[in-house]
Chains A and B, each alone.
Chain A
Amino acid sequence: MALISVKVVERPRRTFAMQIYLVEVWKGLAITFRHLFVNLYRHLLRRPNASVTIQYPEDPAVLGRRARTRHRLLKRDDGAPRCTACLLCETICPAKCIRITAENAPDVRVEKRAKTFSIDLGMCVYCGYCVEACPVDAIHMDADDVATSRYSRKDMIWNMAELMGDKPKLPSSSTAD
């Protein structure tokens, strides 16, 4: 049996200044006002790093160049999906939100292709492992689409045509689960 060594940690003691709270409240307010005046100063000098409020969703979201957004399935030059249904993305997916079934590809050299491919965005944790695992660069997370919310769980599931952009994913009017 392994011996467990115990380290006793003393609780931090609360001083009088902490207990009356007012000191901490003033410190917080100082930070708030510092932000207000610094930002006001930047706006007055028309500096580019001045903070603004974006009117999302009326205005489009501003995304970083490397932001991981909704998945996209890529195509070959001839328009066929790149995916070979190897199931590595389904295997690595920690949220188990990818479901693929495979079939013979018409081209013998391609061997295998996806019969069905779906991603449940309601379960996806946007970790990007599927992109890392893909050996044929068939899946990217760069659709620059963050408005994936729907009124039902079922509508959160995207099929192959929708992920390839062949068919638009229409927001469903149904509110039933």
Chain B
Amino acid sequence: MAKKVKFKLDGREIEADEGRLVIDAAKDAGVDIPHYCYHPALGNPGNCRMCIVEVAGAPKPQVSCRTGVREGLDVKTSTDAVKRAQASALELHLVNHPLDCPVCDQSGECGLQNYYMEIGQYQSAVREDKQHKDKRIEAGPHVMLDQERCILCTRCTRFVDNVTQTHELGVFRRGHAERIELTPGLILDNAYSGNVVDICPVGALTDRDFRYKVRVWYLDQTDSICPGCARGCNISVHTNTKRPWHNDGKRVARLKPRHNHEVNGYWMCDEGRYATGSLDVGRLGRVLRLTPQKQDVSWDAAASEIGAKLRDGGVAFVASGMLSNEDWAAAKELFAGAKFYFSAEPDQVGEEDALLRRREKVPNLKGAQALGLVSGSFDELAKDLESGKVRALYVVERDLAKIWGAERARALLSKAALRVFQGPNKVELSESYDFRLPATAYVEEEGHFTNFEGKVQAYAKALEPIGEARPDWDIFALIAKAKSGAAAEVAA
């Protein structure tokens, strides 16, 4: 434990660890000091000169990202001298900045705009012509680079040097010609490349996926958990519902990481970040009975029929770690006595690395295990279907064609007497079932995921469900009610 010391911040007495950076200690105390280059996870080169503060006794203003807290330090963050220093630092940042805010995708969440509104020097003394550099460089599959907008804070180069250690970006040339460029022979194509867009305080690095889709001030934000793997990165879901003609009609515009020191730090991987396609495309919206012929049915009719058939036993429940803790608890109740199959088969495993990504590409296998559920093997399930031991098959959000191959899966499905598919999206064999029930996607419900370390994290509802879709736990509860009702009738 570091020694606690007392120091003065704008006249207030504040306690902090000795040696902690003044900028961090001020943030803890609720004072935000403007900054561009400093990032808690990327170090403090001190090149942007924005976090300037006055320290009593020092002859000149100091940068708070390189000043440690010590006993009796007297820091002032908003004196006239500080404001003047920050205004002239901003003026220098804007010497070569094109000021194309109206067409810049960052505008609305731009560090330059925000601080300029606060402390800018509106009459610039610079009379030189602006240096022109390259615009619209496709730095990688996800990132677009605009060298003119860059203020050379070097956050992105520090990210690729220190976090991913892939070194795709660097600062090249000198003086006015200094610019961020791709390292010769490389493109910005690593598993975490999208993060450089988040840390870029200006519009130099923008998201190719999000570019020009919708202006940021039309977006709503909701706290959520990334369902892309067992890590459970904290994210915020940015949705566009007020002006549906933007973003190509899709409701989810982008996902951004949320800081959580214990889980994902400040980052998220590209795999999770760009996995929004299935949220608005290929969704199930109606309760359907597919046999003997395709027809719409009501939730109650479907539930009572499924409930009555589930009572006959021989039930197998196939699910995935996409279910929330609440869903698992409701499933455990409904399918008591049935066999559970939810292990991550080749359809749900992928690459993993030391930074964030986990092998299991579903968020909540741990939640099922915590409830005492054990997954059987899918080979065993295939055998049981073959022998007729399993008569009712209830599949949630799982594509059996990806586990067994389309032909074998279709043949095995035809053996069961009752086949129910439940999920938010169509899958390859979703026509080969007796019932197809629409469930909500994770952005349309609230719940909890338990990540691979056993941390339980809540996610909130960002959007209204599509069509008749209901949360999985709600569907399980509806069927459970029908099942017990059917049982009571027989007993009577």
**Residue of B100, B102, B135, B218 most packed against chain A (CB within 10 A):** B102
CB distance from A38 to the nearest CB of B (A): 53
Does chain A have a CB within 8 A of B359?
A: no
Checking B102, B211, B246 against A88 with a beta-carbon cut-off of 8 angstroms, the contacting residue is: B102
Q: Which residues of B contact A91 (CB under 8 A)?
A: 215, 217-218
- The residue in chain A whose Cβ has the minimal distance to the Cβ of B102 is A86
Encoded as 1 (CB less than 8 Å from any B CB) or 0, chain A from 107 to 126 comes to 01101100000000000000
Contacts of B212 in A (CB 8 A): 85, 102-104, 112
A54 CB → nearest B CB, Å: 40
Say whether A51 faces chain B, with CB atoms less than 8 Å apart.
no
For B211, the closest partner residue in chain A by CB is: A104
B27 in contact (CB, < 8 A): no
Given the complex of chains A and B, what is the CA–CA distance between A84 and B100 in angstroms?
11
Q: Are A108 and B136 in contact (CB under 8 A)?
A: yes
| In the complex, B245 has a CB within 8 A of chain A | yes
Q: Which residues of B contact A61 (CB under 8 A)?
A: none
Tell whether A165 is near chain B: CB-to-CB under 8 Å: no
Chain A residues near B488 (CB-CB < 8 A):
none
Name the CB-closest residue of A to B247: A101
Q: Is the CB of A101 within 8 A of B246?
A: yes
Does B490 count as interface, using CB distance less than 8 angstroms? no
Interface string of B210-252 (1 = CB under 8 A from A): 0110010110000000000000000000000001011000000
* Complex Cα spacing A90 to B211, Å: 18
Task: Kindly provide the distance from the CB of B133 to the nearest chain A CB, expressed in whole angstroms.
Answer: 11
Q: Is the CB of B103 within 8 A of A112?
A: yes
A90 to B245, CA, bound (A): 12
Which of A85, A90, A99, A101 contacts B103 (CB under 8 A)? Answer: A85
Q: Min CB distance, A120 to chain B, in Å?
A: 12
Name the interface residues of A66-118: CB closer than 8 Å to any CB of B: 84-88, 90-91, 99, 101-104, 108-109, 111-112
Q: Is A63 in contact with chain B by the CB < 8 A criterion?
A: no
A73 to chain B, nearest CB (A): 16
A175-B452 Cα distance, complex, nearest whole Å: 63
A26 to chain B, nearest CB (A): 57
The smallest C-beta distance from B333 to any residue of chain A, in angstroms, reads 47
Residue A50 is within 8 A (CB to CB) of chain B in the complex:
no
Given A108-B135, A111-B135, CB of A86 within 8 Å of CB of B246:
no
Nearest B residue to A109, CB-CB: B135
In the complex, the answer to whether A99 meets B135 with C-beta atoms within 8 Å is: no
Residues of chain B within 8 A (CB-CB) of A102 are: 212
Complex partner residue of A101 from B102, B135, B217, B245, CB under 8 angstroms: B245
Does chain B have a CB within 8 A of A28?
A: no
- Any B CB within 8 A of the CB of A136: yes
Beta-carbon contact of B103 and A84 below 8 Å: yes
Count of interface residues, chain A, beta-carbon cutoff 8 Å:
18
Chain B residues, Cβ within 8 Å of A103: 212
A86-B102, A108-B135, A136-B102 given as contacts; is B215 within 8 A of A99 (CB)? no
The verdict on A171 contacting chain B, using a C-beta distance below 8 Å, is no
Number of A-B contacts (CB under 8 A): 32
B100 touches A111 (CB 8 A): yes
Q: How many residues of chain B get a CB closer than 8 Å to chain A's CBs?
A: 13
Given the complex, which residues of A lie within 8 Å of B136, measured CB to CB?
104, 108, 111
Whether A87 pairs with B135 at a CB distance below 8 angstroms is no
Closest to A105 in B: B103
Residues 125-138 of chain A: 1 if any B CB is under 8 Å from the residue's CB, otherwise 0? 00000000001100
Q: Which residues of A contact B100 (CB under 8 A)?
A: 111
Chain B residues near A88: list those with CB within 8 A.
102
In the assembled complex, how far is the CB of residue B310 from the closest CB belonging to chain A, in whole angstroms? 48
CB proximity of B220 to chain A, nearest CB, Å: 15
Check if A135 sits within 8 Å of B245, measured CB to CB.
no
Cα distance A87–B212 when bound, in Å? 10
Q: A108 — which chain B residues lie within 8 A by C-beta?
A: 135-136
Name the B residues within 8 Å of A135 (CB-CB).
102
A111 touching B245, Cβ below 8 Å: no
Interface residues of B in 128-167 (CB under 8 A from A): 135-136
Residue numbers in A under 8 Å from B103 (CB-CB): 84-86, 111-112
Cα of A99 to Cα of B215 in the assembled complex, Å: 13
Which residues from B are CB-within-8-Å of A104? 136, 211-212
Interface centre among B100, B211, B217 (most CB of A within 10 A): B100
Complex Cα distance A11/B360, Å? 78
- B217 contacts A99, CB within 8 Å? no
How many angstroms from the CA of A86 to the CA of B246 in the assembled complex?
13
Kindly state the separation between the CA atoms of A158 and B245 in the bound complex, as whole angstroms: 16
- Chain A residue at smallest Cβ distance from B144: A104
A111 to B103, CA, bound (A): 7
What is the CB-to-nearest-CB distance from A76 to chain B, in angstroms, rounded to a whole number? 15
Distance of A166 from chain B, by nearest CB (Å): 22
CA distance A175 to B31 in the complex (A): 62
The minimal Cβ–Cβ distance linking A149 to chain B, given in whole angstroms, is 25
CA distance A111 to B217 in the complex (A): 20
- Whether B245 lies near A87 (C-beta < 8 A) is no
Q: Given contacts A90-B243, A111-B103, list 7 more A-B pairs with CB under 8 A.
A: A85-B212, A86-B103, A91-B217, A102-B212, A104-B211, A111-B100, A112-B103
Can you report 28 residue pairs joining A to B where beta carbons are below 8 Å apart? A84-B102, A84-B103, A85-B103, A85-B212, A86-B102, A86-B103, A87-B215, A88-B102, A90-B243, A91-B215, A91-B217, A91-B218, A99-B243, A99-B245, A103-B212, A104-B136, A104-B211, A104-B212, A108-B135, A108-B136, A109-B135, A111-B100, A111-B103, A111-B135, A111-B136, A112-B103, A135-B102, A136-B102
Pick the 5 closest A-B CB pairs, nearest first: A86-B102, A102-B212, A112-B103, A111-B103, A135-B102
Where the two chains meet, the residues of B that have a C-beta atom closer than 8 Å to any C-beta of A are 100, 102-103, 135-136, 211-212, 215, 217-218, 243, 245-246
Binding site for B on A (CB under 8 A): 84-88, 90-91, 99, 101-104, 108-109, 111-112, 135-136
